Each structure stands twice: as C-alpha cells, then as structure tokens.
Structure 1
Amino acid sequence: MKKITINSVASYAGVSKKTVSRVLNNEPNVSDVTREKVLKAFKELDYTPNPIARGLARNRSFIIACLYDNPSKSYITRLQSGALEACHEHGFNLLIHPCELRSQALLDNIEQLLQTSRVDGLVLTPPFSDHGELVAFLRQKKVPFARVASVKLDDESISVRSNDEQGAFEITELLIELGHKDIAFIKGHPDHSATEQRFNGYRRALAEHGIEYQEHLVEEGNFSYHSGADSAETILHLDPRPTAVFASNDYMAAAVLKAATQMDLKVPDDIAIAGFDNAPIARHIWPGLTTIAQPVEEMTRLAVEHLIEQINQGDNGDEEQQKEPLQITLEAKLICRESTAAPKS
C-alpha cells in the first residue's frame, strides 16, 4: 500500500505543500474554502501526520506543559480536561508536570523540563500562576506561557481567571440573607492567590451588611479534606457555636459536614455549610453542598488556546501580536443546595 504523505495530500487537494502545512498547523492566511478542501483530502486519503517529522520540520515539539501543585485531584482533573480539549483541537500534545512550589530546585526542575521535553509553551496553574521568580525566569528564557487563575495582572502575559472575590462575596451574602450573623470561615492554602481573594469576598460581605468581623471565627486550612477536619474540630466546639461555616473549597466543607454529623448536628438546621469550586463531592454527598461553580475547564481551555495562538504568531514573525496581552475574567456562579438554610432560632 502506497504511503500517504503531505505531498500526496497537496496533489489530491490541488494546493501547494505549504498550504497543507498551514492547515496542519492551524495557521491563518488560509481561506475557508481551501481549508475545507485540504481537510476533506485528509479524511478521504486517511492521512495521519507524523508528529515527529512535523516537529523537526518546524523546530517544534507541539507539546504544551501544564505545571501544577494542588492537593485536589478533582481540580487537577478539570484542569487537564480543559487543556486537553484545546490541545487536541489545535494538534498539540499535553504534558502534565507536577512540581513543588516550595522546592529549592523549582527553577532547576523547570529548566530540565524545557531541555528534555522541548515544550513549546507552559500553562501555569495555581500556585505557580503568581510566582514572580518563575515568571521572570520564563521571560528571560523567552518561553511562551499562560496563567490560569492569576490575581496579578500585567501587560505582557496571557491570564484567564474567574472572579473568586465576587463569588465568595455572593455566598457569604446568601448566608447573611438567610439570617446568619456568626459565620465561620476556613481559609485555603497560603501559597494560592485564590485564598486571599475568597477571604476578601467574605470580609466585604460582612462589612457591607454591617456585621462585625470576628477573628476567632476564621481558621487556616490548605484546601485539603484533612485541614477541613482539623478546622471543624475547633469551629464546632466554639461557645457559642457559629450558625454557619463557609469553607474555601468543597473538600474542606465536606469535612466540616462529616464532623457536624458525627456530633449529631443536623445540617442545615443546626449549622449551615457552604463550599467553593463545585467539585464532584459537592453534589455526591448528602446534604448537597451550596457552593460556587468555578469554570476551571473553560479557564484552562482558553489559556491553552491563546497560548498556542501566541506560539503560532511567534513562528510567523508577528512580534507585535505576540506581545499583545490577553486578560480574561470569567463569571463564577452561585449554586444553592440543601446544606444551607435559615438558622433555627
């Protein structure tokens, strides 16, 4: 059987080899009619491009690396899902690369990744999104990157995030409007920028409704189930006990719900509980958790899409477009479930 090559596709479609290459790499400057003609040739000839040859021809790997350091497996899965969708759509592969933020060898780790995997760009997820030293290192190396859920915005990088501060405000306001005044709060991991944003939203809601902030109602967590359980141990034994708990993510909120149940407290009658992220656990436990749905998949998908666009612009020598900043903020949505209600008295 004759091997189908890029030349075969060009001849069959009646276009140049360069045009086929542009369609393969999803480049601009190809008319819709011509693109459809080439795509039809791919299908009819059952042509599968050789990724190694494609990379060598353009001195590219067609690999995007996604850096993460997060205790939530569901959050990582959602990040991967959005990134994979964008990569597959544009003919790229995705490399998932775990790192430790506080490791002394972080930059050495990243440099080794760049040398061994020849990645074309990096997606920085929390807590790397706002790591100044890492961002400066990538700029020095002239490595394209995009940031997900970053708080710090600048004029030189792609950033896609949701409004965590507003989401936390809305969920705290919901509890207040239900009649709660003593609302405990469990913070997230101190290295994550979302932690401060969610805490700010909680405090803003209290202030706007004339409720005094009580420091003893705030516990330090780290986004893990175990830290939620430790925080619950303190909060649920306060005297007087708060009538509501807002945890910075759903896993910590689920731990509070379990601890309350073990103490024979009824949720939401004796204590209302809310979380953040709309992780699978929020709808799989009973009562279901009131939470904020963060568009994690959409954030990562958009970040990767625009990163690939930037990479392709760099290949085409379009330096002006390549430097154009892109900052997108998506809406976080309040989801009310059975874990919140008005206090009994």
Structure 2
Amino acid sequence: MAAQKKGAGGKQPTINDVAALAGVSKKTVSRVINRSEFLTEKTRKAVEQAIETLGFVPNPQARALAFRRNFLIALLHDNPNAQTVLNFQQGVLDAIKDSDLALLVRPVDRGSERMLDDVRTFLEKQRPIGALLLPPISENDDLAALCEDLGVRYVRVGSAPLDDAKHCVSSNDREVVAEAVRALIALRHRRIGFVRGPQGFRSAAEREKGFMEALSEAGLDLPAAYNAPGNYRYAAGIEAGEALLSLSEPPTAIFCSNDEMAAGVMSVAHAKRIDVPGALSIIGFDDSPTATHIWPALSTVRWPIREMGVRAAKTLVPDFLPLAGKVDESDSGVLNSTFIQRQSVASPQR
C-alpha cells in the first residue's frame, strides 16, 4: 500500500493524526518522539510506524519548548591547538549525524575573570541540552559545578580522569608517554631532551610525569638544560630546538609534548644539518596530520581525540542518538593512546 503523506483533510499530518493512526494518546506520541524510556517496545513501534506511514515531521520548536532546551550540544574550549579542537569536533559530529542535534562551538578565555559569568550567560541564552568541555577548561571544577547548577548535562575531556564516568572521557597520557620514552632508552639513548606543554594544562603535567617516570626507571636524570619550555605551538618547537641543539653536548633524542612542537624541533635540526634519525631521534604526541606530512615521518603517540569526541557525545546524550546506543555504565571512560614508531627514531650513531 502506498505511504500516506497527508493528514486529515489533505493537510500536512499532525501529531493528532499520528496518535489516531497508532491508537494512542498525543502524549504517548510525544514521548516516542522525545525518546522516553518509559514505553513498551510494542507502543514505540506502533507510533514509529504511524510516523513513517504519514510522513510526519516533528516540529523542532515544539520539541525544544517541551524540553525547555534547544537541540544543541555546546562545545566549550580554550585550546591553542586548532587541530585538536577540529578532530574532537569531527568525532562529535560523527556521533550525532543521525540525530536531531546540532553542534555549537564556543571559544572561551580561561584567563578572564569573567569566564564563568560569560559561560553562564551563553548557556542561559542558548539553552543547550548539554555541554562538552575540552581541556584545559575541563579541569575547572567551578565550570562543571556551573553546568550542574544550570541543569545542563556535561562531559569533561582530559588526559586523566577528572570526574566520575558519566561526566568524563579521558586518555592515558602518562602511561603511553612513559612507553614511548622507554622505547628510546631501549635503543640506547641516554641523553634525552624534553619539550614541555603549557603551564597549567593537565595534559602537559601528565606527559611530563610519564617522561620522568621512564627516565627514573632507567636511572637517568633530566638536566635542566635538556628541559625546554613549550606551549603546544610550532614556534615554541623552533625555540626549544634552537636551545637544545645548540648545546655543546646536545641530546641524542627529544620527546616533544605535541606534534606541532616536534615539527619545530625537526625544522631546526634540518637547518643545522643534523641527521634525523641518525644523530637525533624525535617523538611527538597527537598523531596529527603533521606527523606524516614532514620528513622523516614523525614517531608519535596517537591520541584518540576523534574517538574521544564520539565517546563524549554518546556519554552526554545517549537518549538522543538512536543508532549509537548507550555507553556501558561499567565503562571507565578511558580511551588508550598508542605509541607509533616511524622513521624519526633510531639508535644513536654517536
């Protein structure tokens, strides 16, 4: 039988038409549309079949009014690495592509005294269903408390667990960085330099802890001259490379806290005609496109930031993602990063 596309009187079908065809109340149809859990599978299927038969399209404004929320996920960030934000954003979009949700991206200034007030105003005006908090602002407990106060669902993303599993998705930065540095030590590197991440970032602290743990296990020290500051930007890698590779006894290997800075160090090595990896091994973190766009290809830690975006969205709004299902309540929310050894690492030749 051909699908009926008109309601009573030949007009566009309404929620009343769906209710009449399915033999249920208008309120029950509304519950199905809004994916309420308090329905039998038989009732849900009857309503969904009526919706399909009639070609009924729910009114998004009416749904938003019923929820007292707009069908939006807010992504809040203050991150200097644009690629990280883009990769995470793509993961969220992967998760919500078959839903009625849209993504709203909002940069904030974590250094501003008005940050919390600005976020409060933004959330009150936009009325999103939930908020995803990227590091480093995800590490701000007051921001999480603000979301709680406003009744806005939230998930915090970090390089270590920041909250309980229903409010957090994280990675294992410390452990995987230690693994990467152990690989350098296994190749007989003993003079290993380090380029730090920005001060105040939990990711920078976790990566530094992993680096120091691996050195300590091997009985190695990190001389002050081998410990270079960084901020996750390419220019910081240039500065660190100039400082480390100009030493009278430069390191034979350098671990950089992200790929952008590793690319900066490699650029300095090329300018100084230092062979990579013959005279200098370099490791980054992220496995961003940069890692395979430079030569030699960069050994790095693959940070599953896109997968973290998918997981964060599933954790935040499982009831709005019909094809995604729910995250297992026993899931810790920790996604493991992976060390990838490429051509930028070898045993030292000197």
Given that residues 78 and 297 in structure 1 are in contact (C-alpha distance below 8 angstroms), is that contact kept between their aligned partners in structure 2?
yes
Matched, 1:340 2:345: yes
Q: Distance in 2 between matches of 1:225 and 1:342?
A: 26
Q: Could you tell me which residue of structure 2 aligns to residue 149 of structure 1? A: 158
Q: Could you tell me which residue of structure 2 aligns to residue 320 of structure 1? A: none
Given that residues 69 and 101 in structure 1 are in contact (C-alpha distance below 8 angstroms), is that contact kept between their aligned partners in structure 2?
yes
Q: Could you tell me which residue of structure 1 aligns to residue 170 of structure 2? A: 161
Number of residue pairs matched by the alignment: 334
Q: Secondary structure at the match of 2:70?
A: coil
Q: Could you tell me which residue of structure 2 aligns to residue 216 of structure 1? A: 225
Given that residues 188 and 220 in structure 1 are in contact (C-alpha distance below 8 angstroms), is that contact kept between their aligned partners in structure 2?
yes
- Unaligned residue ranges in structure 1 (runs of 5+): 313-323
Within 5 Å, give how 1:6-21 maps onto structure 2.
6-21=15-30
Which residue, out of 188, 195, 199, partners 1:186? 195
Q: Secondary structure at the match of 2:103?
A: strand
Q: Distance in 2 between matches of 1:55 and 1:39?
A: 20
Q: 1:135, CA displacement in angstroms?
A: 2.5
Q: Distance in 2 between matches of 1:338 and 1:36?
A: 55
Q: Distance in 1 between matches of 2:319 and 2:198?
A: 31
Which residue, out of 312, 335, 339, partners 1:330? 335
Letter of the 1:8 partner, please give it: D
Q: 1:108, CA displacement in angstroms?
A: 1.7
Q: 1:212, CA displacement in angstroms?
A: 2.2
Which residue, out of 266, 271, 285, partners 2:294? 285
Q: 1:136, CA displacement in angstroms?
A: 3.1
Q: 1:93, CA displacement in angstroms?
A: 1.8
Q: Could you tell me which residue of structure 2 aligns to residue 106 of structure 1? A: 115
Q: What is the TM-score when the length of structure 2 is the normalising length? A: 0.87
Q: Distance in 2 between matches of 1:179 and 1:40?
A: 66
Q: Could you tell me which residue of structure 2 aligns to residue 75 of structure 1? A: 84
Q: Distance in 2 between matches of 1:188 and 1:154?
A: 22
Q: 1:3, CA displacement in angstroms?
A: 1.3
Within 5 Å, give how 1:1-345 maps onto structure 2.
2-32=11-41, 34-36=43-45, 38-149=47-158, 151=160, 153-155=162-164, 158-309=167-318, 327-345=332-350
**Larger deviation, residues 198-207 vs 224-233:** 224-233
Q: 1:195, CA displacement in angstroms?
A: 0.4
Q: 1:343, CA displacement in angstroms?
A: 0.8
Q: Could you tell me which residue of structure 2 aligns to residue 319 of structure 1? A: none
The structure-2 alpha-carbon separation of the partners of 1:137 and 1:264, relative to structure 1 and needing over 3 Å to count, comes to same
The structure-2 alpha-carbon separation of the partners of 1:154 and 1:262, relative to structure 1 and needing over 3 Å to count, comes to same
Q: Distance in 2 between matches of 1:197 and 1:169?
A: 10
Q: 1:36, CA displacement in angstroms?
A: 4.9
Q: What is the TM-score when the length of structure 1 is the normalising length? A: 0.88
**Larger deviation, residues 179-188 vs 113-122:** 113-122
Given that residues 165 and 200 in structure 1 are in contact (C-alpha distance below 8 angstroms), is that contact kept between their aligned partners in structure 2?
yes
Q: Secondary structure at the match of 2:128?
A: coil
Q: Distance in 1 between matches of 2:223 and 2:11?
A: 76
Q: 1:76, CA displacement in angstroms?
A: 0.7
Q: Distance in 2 between matches of 1:12 and 1:85?
A: 34
Q: 1:327, CA displacement in angstroms?
A: 4.4
1:197-248 per-position Cα deviation (integer Å, ceiling 9, x unaligned): 0000000011112222323211111111111111111011111010011100
Q: 1:157, CA displacement in angstroms?
A: 5.8
The structure-2 alpha-carbon separation of the partners of 1:266 and 1:306, relative to structure 1 and needing over 3 Å to count, comes to same
Q: 1:168, CA displacement in angstroms?
A: 0.6
Q: CA RMSD in A?
A: 2.5
Q: Secondary structure at the match of 1:151?
A: coil
The structure-2 alpha-carbon separation of the partners of 1:34 and 1:142, relative to structure 1 and needing over 3 Å to count, comes to closer
Q: 1:151, CA displacement in angstroms?
A: 3.4
Q: 1:261, CA displacement in angstroms?
A: 0.8
Given that residues 183 and 217 in structure 1 are in contact (C-alpha distance below 8 angstroms), is that contact kept between their aligned partners in structure 2?
yes
Q: Distance in 2 between matches of 1:326 and 1:146?
A: 14
- Identical pairs, percent: 38
**Larger deviation, residues 157-166 vs 11-20:** 11-20
The structure-2 alpha-carbon separation of the partners of 1:92 and 1:237, relative to structure 1 and needing over 3 Å to count, comes to same
**Larger deviation, residues 208-217 vs 68-77:** 208-217
Looking at CA atoms only, which structure, 1 or 2, has the larger radius of gyration?
2
